[in-house]
Structure 1
Amino acid sequence: MLNPTWLKTLVTLLREGSFQRAAKRLGIAQPTVSLHLKKLEEQVGAQLVERGRAGCRPTARAELLLPYAEQLVMLNERALQALRAEVERVGASSNVGTYLLPPLIRTFLDDGRVGQLELNVASNPDTVSKLLTGEIDIAVTEWWEPVPGFISRPWRYEPLVLIVPAEHELAHAGAISLEHISGFDMLGGEPGSGTGRLLTAYFGKHGVPRVSMHLGNTEAVKEAVKAGLGISIVLASAVAREVQDGSLCAVPLQGLGKQLMVAWRDRGFRRPAMPKFVHHLMESTIGAGRLSQ
């Protein structure tokens, strides 16, 4: 087995570019850095670092090893954190992590329930992947497929709304038919969020509106809608500020919304069934009257 201490020294050495800076970063003597590198090179049977006037550079063999070394170092550090129960690592899909979680994290930390909380915001597929590989402890997502060894719970139901510029013909049209909406060009947001599957079922025989442009994230979508490039469908919480300041109009869509989910690894009977942050999420949802549907 590769020694995690030696691997950490290698990763730090290549990041810092010199033995002196690596020693300072690690808080060890410079000869110890050299010793760790020597032992690791002996273990793998290859030279890993080239020394030159410009500093240290990875060899071709080190470049092959480095991605795995970084992952092993990260997992080792997170395993130690888990044993000390110092950090709860939360991952969230982009919309959830951007528009819903920050105030809840603030109240959670203010309650002093845990020493530290890390938030990792990524796409929904990446967030799920990080939970499965142990990079995060809790995933708060826009969709979740059951996986053996993991527990999931509905968190809150979030309505989806049609967003248009304030001066758009649909802004004050009252009841809007699906056929009417399907005649407009739609702006697409983040891939993998699950919205496309919901819209396919929602529009049914009328057909999902043509997506004229894929913009990758909700912030870009909102700015494009303001500029008159099209209309879009987003989480209601994502446009609360814009609706309040009048820069966008959110048109309700009857019966269209997302069941947001929270998932975590099943630790068995030896640990509490529900992580502290998950418990906080559930309490906050009940308190706000936003029960899952």
Structure 2
Amino acid sequence: MMNPQWLRSFVVLAERGSFTRTADQLGLTQAAVSQHIHHLEAQLGPLLIRRPRQVELTPAGQALLGYCDDMEQAEKRLNLRLSGADDRQGEISLITPGSIGLSLYPLLLDLQASYPGLSVRHRFAPDQDVLEGVRNNHFELGLVTLKPDDPRLVACHFADEPLDLVVPATATVNSWEDLESLGFIDHPDGHAMASRLLSRVFPGNRGIRSIACKGFVNQVGLILEPVARGFGFSVIPRYAREAYAPGEAIRVVEMGPRVVDALWLIYRAEWPLSARARFVASELASRLTGETLVLV
């Protein structure tokens, strides 16, 4: 690799056209500048045609000047990437639970359509995998349903997500017995979510396990398919319900006080969040909730 100081002297000499002016600009002696050019020419061959008041670049000199320009641009790109200063370029890496992810992913694609320099990498995962993914630097941003107590992570309130009691559009639900007649469509968090919500809607009920299970689905985007077909009811987060396309085939039962979970945006505390991650996180929160995201 060529000495950076020699290359700097050559670039300034090509711009200024004079050893005297080059030495003055760099704070060097003319002899030092001449020595730098001599070292380069020993490696690359003649770079300059020396005239009394001006120098002219040879083809090799033009090639070296282009090389120096390429190196300067590469250094700028590296510094920009390391600083994360460009908020419209680069990769956005986000890991979220499936329910909120169903709503966020189309918004991420909308942002990518508006800013083609962005590249989206989004993974659906449970809370524990989200925490590990951000802690291990596999993802810059994550969303979790429980605020972590970990000094390595910053947690900012992102959104609130109520639980919804979802039944077939034609079903009538006024009592616990109505739910028993429908049956339950379970999912990995089904019993926990149903127990939390139904204990408020129907205080003193016999418990979700007393209701016949009519099916189990482990893909969040498919939980409401059997509900829409009339096979039973389910309890799921609202963003998952809103992302279900055939919304006319289902209905949300609004009874009793709501159960609302907070969603927390997490990222590493030890270094600054990139500008593009700040931009995208703020845009997602605004487009999803209409509120301004406060980032640390």
Question: Could you say whether these structures have the same fold, taking a TM-score greater than 0.5 normalized by the shorter chain as the test?
Answer: yes
Cα–Cα, structure 1 residues 196 and 146, in superposed 2: closer, same or farther, change >3 Å?
Answer: farther
RMSD: 4.0
Q: Distance in 2 between matches of 1:269 and 1:84?
A: 9
Task: Verify the 8 A CA contact 2:179 2:233 in the aligned structure 1.
Answer: no
Task: Calculate percent identity across the aligned residue pairs.
Answer: 16
Q: Which residue of 2 aligns with 1:206?
A: 205
Q: Distance in 2 between matches of 1:123 and 1:157?
A: 17
3-state DSSP class of the match of 1:129?
Answer: helix
TM-score (norm 2): 0.55
Shift of 1:263: 0.9
Contact 1:156 1:261 in 2 (8 A): yes
Query: Partner of 1:94 in structure 2?
Result: 98
Q: TM-score, normalised by structure 1?
A: 0.56
Change (3 A) 1:125 1:165: same
8 Å CA contact retained: 1:185, 1:209: no
Aligned residue runs from structure 1 range 137-216, under 5 A: 137-170=140-173, 176=174, 181=179, 185-191=183-189, 195=193, 198-199=196-197, 202=200, 205-206=204-205, 208-210=207-209, 212=213, 213-216=215-218
CA contact (8 A) 1:191 1:216 kept: no
Secondary structure of 1:260's counterpart equals strand
**How many equivalent pairs are there?**
206
The range that moved more, 154-163 or 220-229, is 220-229
User: 1:249, CA displacement in angstroms?
Assistant: 1.5
Show structure 1 runs of 5+ residues with no match: 1-79, 171-175
Q: Distance in 2 between matches of 1:209 and 1:183?
A: 13
**Which structure would you say has the larger Rg?**
2
Q: 1:96 to 1:131 in 2, by over 3 A?
A: same
State how far apart, in whole Å, the 1-side matches of 2:292 and 2:246 are.
21
Task: State the Cα distance separating 1:119 from its structure 2 match.
Answer: 1.0
Letter in 2 for 1:95: S
From 227, 251, 254, give the equivalent of 1:252: 254
Larger RCO, structures 1/2 (Cα 8 Å, 6+ apart)? 2
Query: 1:151 and 1:139, CA in 2 relative to 1: closer, same or farther beyond 3 A?
Result: same
Q: Alpha carbons of 1:225 and 1:251: their partners in 2 closer, same or farther (altered >3 Å)?
A: same
Residues 131 and 137 in structure 1, CA contact (< 8 A), matched pair in contact too: yes
CA distance in 2, matches of 1:263, 1:193: 27
Q: Secondary structure at the match of 1:275?
A: helix
| 1:102 maps to amino acid | Y
| Equivalence for 1:133 | 136
Cα distance change, pair 271–197 in 1 and its aligned pair in 2 (3 A): farther
C-alpha distance 278-125 of structure 1, shift in aligned 2 (>3 A): same
Q: How far apart in 1 are the matches of 2:291 and 2:183?
A: 35
